[in-house]
Amino acid sequence: MKIHILNGDCLQHDLQAENAIVIREMLVEGPLKVVSEESFFQMRADYLEKTYGIPASEYQQKTVSEFKKIHHIPKHSEVYLWFDFDLYCFLNLLFVIELLQADKTLHLYLVRPLRKRKFRIWRGFDLHTKEDLMQAFSQKTKLSRKDIEAFRHVWKRLGKNGSELNHRLVPFLQKHLQDYPRLEKATKIEARWGLTEGQISRILS
């Protein structure tokens, strides 16, 4: 079976993918420590309700329900991960891969926005036509076991601190924003996942 995991409702509106799972989280802020899956989602619900007034029931209905679908993906399926280059998507992608890795039979592919002059890198799939999306899909990259373990390593490092006040990304964000203009002009992103080796190193430092 072919499963598409998408970075938001807007992409699904344009793509109209069958067997789609839509990610509606913002893990770029708030607590990331995972003791158990249920406690993690409860911690996230509490944070979003306290910070943004999002009812816990809405978080369960719109967000957790989509994550739960990942556990029901049939074995040996091809899973296409549609995520942008920005840090917001990168964190969500890390968590999705952490959930997916429980089934080693799955074949994971990363689908990135096209790198064309008319598209600004930090706008992601925005402005992509259906034809553009199909072209992006044709350029998908299969993730090796080494890639997946590297993603998992970054996720685990980020989750070591349980308090959102000590989020490991806080000192990283300012430098990441300073990188934007340079990467905007780059003809290619010199990293397998969209972030440069220097940026990955700063996350792990």
The span from the CA of 52 to the CA of 75, in Å, is 37
The span from the CA of 9 to the CA of 178, in Å, is 28
- How does residue 191 score in pLDDT terms, banded at 50, 70 and 90? very low
- How does residue 31 score in pLDDT terms, banded at 50, 70 and 90? confident
| Model pLDDT, residue 202 | 60
The DSSP symbol for 2 reads E
Unique residue bearing structure tokens 């911690």: 43
The DSSP symbol for 36 reads S
What's the pTM?
Answer: 0.82
Range 94-109 average pLDDT: 95
| Model pLDDT, residue 189 | 47
Contact residues for 205 (Cβ-Cβ < 8 A; gap 6+): none
